[in-house]
Amino acid sequence: MNRAALFDVDGTLADTNHLHVVCWWEALRQAGDDVAMHDIHRAIGLPGEDLLAHLLGEDRDTSGDDTLSTAHTTLYGTYFDRLPALDSAAELLREVDRRGWRVVLVTSAKDAELGALRRAVDADDAITATASSDDVSEGKPAPDPVLHALGLAGAAARDSVFVGDTVWDMRAATRADVACVGLLCGGIARRDLEEAGARAVYRHPADLLAHIDGSPFAVAGPHAGWPGGMSSASL
């Protein structure tokens, strides 16, 4: 029986959420939309079209969506050669892989952006596959990306764990019946992650790695054997 370790990337393995915030803020500003950075931050993790709907409303004029997305992509692309991985992200993936889990990245990043993120994390030897929003009809918080990732790993939901940093990650995993772990390094509060479905919360990849023997990655079946609610987070 395969076990899948599903990882979000932005804000979970790479310290990029605030770069996305600034790039979306500038793209929106150029288009004449005044949106607070705090609100943009809360929307990070959604696919671009859903992010714009969340920020600007479903009844907005969508004719400018492509221009906004292109502006964000262009601005964010200026950071591709220096995207920062979070401390111990690569070591965490390799340790999980060493323990027999199939590591699958579950991300809204596309093409060149995903390539830049993988180069930043630098753990391709531990990654089995990647699932993106392009592979499914609906992105997070719908369960589709998580279910697609399970298929790539050949694993059942009950034998899998999802690690992410946003409420969208937690909701997507919960709707797919996958146990989920939240990380605080993306800037979302512990309470929000727990209310969205996180069964444990850690500060960052290094914290999860340091406490991995008390995490779902230490047991054969996360739903059956993991004492849900355990957390090393102090915030």
59-81 confidence digits (pLDDT tens): 999 999 999 999 999 999 999 99
Residue 235 pLDDT: 37
Give the model's pLDDT for residue 143.
96
- On whether the 17-78 domain is CATH 1.10.287, my answer is no
Q: What are the extents of the domains in the chain?
A: 2-16+84-225, 17-78
pLDDT tens-digit profile of 2-37? 999 999 999 999 999 999 999 999 999 999 999 999
Residue 98 has pLDDT above 50, yes or no: yes
Q: Is it the case that residue 194 has pLDDT exceeding 90?
A: yes
Domains 2-16+84-225 and 17-78 share a fold: no
Percent of the chain residues past pLDDT 70, beyond the cut? 93
CA distances from 45 to 132, 135, 136, 156, 211 (A): 12, 16, 15, 24, 25
State whether CATH 1.10.10.60 applies to domain 2-16+84-225.
Answer: no
Q: Give the residue-averaged pLDDT of 135-140.
A: 90
